[in-house]
Amino acid sequence: MNAVLATLNRLPLATAMTDALRAGYGAASLRRDLIAALIISLVALPLSMALAIAVGLPPQHGLYTAIAAGFFAALLGGSKTQVSGPTAAFVVIVAPIVAEFGMRGIVWCQILAGIFLLILGISRLGQIITYVPYTVTMGFTMGIGVVIGTIALNDFFGVAGDSAGHWPHKVAVLAQNLPDLSLPTLGVGLLALAIMAGLPYINKKIPSAIVGIVAATLVSLGLSRAGIDIATIGSRFSYTDAAGVLHHGIPSMPPVLHLPGFSDDRIYALPSIAELSKWFMPAVVIAILAALESLLSATVADSMAGTRHEPNAELNGIGIANIMSGLFLGIPATGAIARTATNINAGAVSPVSAMVHALLLLLFMVVLAPVIAYVPMSALSALLLVTAWRMSHVHQFIHLVRSASRSDIAVTLACFGMTVAIDMVAGVITGMSLAILLFMKRVMDTTAVSHHHGADNRTEYDLPDGTLLFHVEGPLFFGTANKAFDFRPGLLAHVERVVLDLGDVPAIDVTAMNLLEDYIGELLEGGRQVVICADADLTARIRRRLRPDVIVRVHFVGDVEDMLNRRAAIRV
């Protein structure tokens, strides 16, 4: 029992909150955190609802996520100023899951994803998760922006859309229904879009999303009184209370905690093996994206606030946050870069700000639910369009095109194209595969092989006649081994001994070791003497690989100079 408790105490969890309290958390810090919490709650309120709608769910599920995940990720995570909740990056992943498996599927996918994240955090693999090339991150982020923007255009124009299918199908449906667009709906959306996009250029401290939505809501109410109907949250969504009465909009009550296996809701019935097998890969994708975006956001927060996050604690925190979000009927959550940056700029100094922001969202939901019902759908779509534009990173892509190599640009475009045409999983797999191939090509180019013949070259080493020196510089693996051990017949003419200088080989894999063994055997069968120059570690690996009858016929030395100094001993 003591061993178990000791292990739990060593788990990376709640490190940010612990550090903040140890540093001396007082009234001044609390005041700064409360101000920041109010500001980011005003930013998160409309965005959380918009993202839930984008994945095909009622808006309250986005608020459930921001409340549950936002609170527990801050309390248990490893970043002092990180704000977590639903993000736009998840839309392209969550929407197909909701369309295929419904609410039960997305709840269990994120619970499984939370477990996977805990495994990563407990295993202390936080640093490894960040090993994703910038070109891949840029590609799939741009692709997500395009897909989200396309989804948002349906409500922005006031036309029917289709959340199922890939991006080309969504575009085709949008184009088909575009002649039926509603000009009043479009006008309200344009008003909200203009305010959200333009206000930050005037005053960045004012939450442009709230101002835009309030203005659009007031105009929508005026049009409604004039007999012009605009689609709103209240007209689109409804719920039934405990008494069986139907209400429009979102429920004005806190989210309810459901325990799997103990809840009356069928959503939380324990899944079968068949269901788990269907949900496994989507859960893995959710976990990977949650880890990547959370750690990226935490890194951005460190650069802005001068702090240092604990990556494994952050993985554990966001893992538990996703489990809790699922138990409260939320959707997947991760660290949100925009909300985190707003939190820091508002003066936050500890996780308390993100925790209070979650509590404020709970208060807004209970108190303002009747008012939220009047928010126009086109205003929320305008917010999604602004989010999609910011995710597209146009300026960064232009800089990439100007400064990067053609191969790097090709990786970005391939990842972008596959994300848009199929989905994010296909985009990331394509981008990572191309990036790995590109990396292998570059490593192969860094491996240099030179040969020196005793009869022709006495400038660097005083090699005796009949000696051929192969000098290999760089890593030896399956992509470079053939290049290094290219013993052409003409090159070995009149050669009595071959010296393999491997002193500048930092790493060697099994394929290269296998080829080395084969070539040593060929040289010995040809009656040639073999001398290997390598450090102690590589020498030991080669000795373990070779047969005993071969080892006794091969001479091992530290370097070429050592070989020349021991000519008599090895008959060179």
Reading the chain (572 residues) residue by residue, the pLDDT tens digits are 455 445 545 678 999 999 999 988 999 999 999 999 999 999 999 999 999 999 999 999 999 999 999 999 999 999 999 999 999 989 989 999 999 999 999 999 999 999 999 999 999 888 777 677 889 888 988 998 998 999 899 999 999 876 667 788 888 888 898 898 999 999 999 999 999 999 999 988 888 999 999 999 999 999 999 999 899 999 999 988 777 788 899 999 999 999 998 877 889 999 999 999 999 999 999 999 999 899 989 988 998 888 899 999 999 999 999 999 999 999 999 999 889 999 998 999 999 999 999 999 999 999 999 999 999 999 999 999 999 998 888 888 888 888 888 999 999 999 999 989 888 888 888 999 999 899 888 878 878 878 777 655 545 667 777 888 888 888 888 877 777 776 665 667 778 888 888 888 888 888 888 888 888 888 888 888 888 998 888 889 888 888 888 888 888 888 877 777 766 555 55
Q: Kindly give the interhelix angle for 27-54 and 208-225, rounded to the nearest 10 degrees.
A: 50
The answer to whether residue 161 sits within a structural domain is: no
User: What is the b/e burial string over 75-105, where b = at least 16 CB atoms within 10 angstroms of the residue's CB?
Assistant: bbbbbbbbbbbbbbbbbbbbbbbbbebebbb
Which of 375, 407, 436 is where one domain is finished? 436
Indicate the helix (H) or strand (E) that contains 557.
strand 554-557
The answer to whether residue 2 sits within a structural domain is: no
Residues 405, 471, single domain; the answer is: no
For residue 499, which of 530, 474, 457, 456 has the smallest C-alpha distance? 530
In angstroms and rounded to an integer, the radius of gyration of the C-alpha atoms of the chain is: 31
The answer to whether residue 272 sits within a structural domain is: yes
CA dist 115 and 276 (Å) reads 13
The answer to whether residue 8 sits within a structural domain is: no
- Write out pLDDT tens, residues 78-115: 999 999 999 998 998 999 999 999 999 999 999 999 99
> What pLDDT score was predicted for residue 104?
96
The answer to whether residue 563 sits within a structural domain is: yes
The answer to whether residue 6 sits within a structural domain is: no
Domain range enclosing 514: 447-570
The answer to whether residue 112 sits within a structural domain is: yes
Report the CATH number that the domain containing residue 507 is assigned in CATH: 3.30.750.24
Residues 404, 458, single domain; the answer is: no
Is beta strand 467-473 parallel, antiparallel or unpaired with respect to 497-504?
Answer: parallel
Residues 423, 523, single domain; the answer is: no
Residues 379, 457, single domain; the answer is: no
- 278 HSE (CA, 13 A, CB side): 14
Which of 376, 401, 436 is where one domain is finished? 436
Residues 118, 141, single domain; the answer is: yes
In the chain, how many domains are there? 2
Residues 419, 452, single domain; the answer is: no
Whole-structure pTM value: 0.81
Residues 453, 430, single domain; the answer is: no
Residues 407, 493, single domain; the answer is: no
CB 324 within 8 A of CB 150: no
Residues 72, 139, single domain; the answer is: yes
Residues 383, 507, single domain; the answer is: no
The answer to whether residue 429 sits within a structural domain is: yes
Residues 367, 222, single domain; the answer is: yes
Which of 408, 436, 464 is where one domain is finished? 436
Residues 458, 429, single domain; the answer is: no
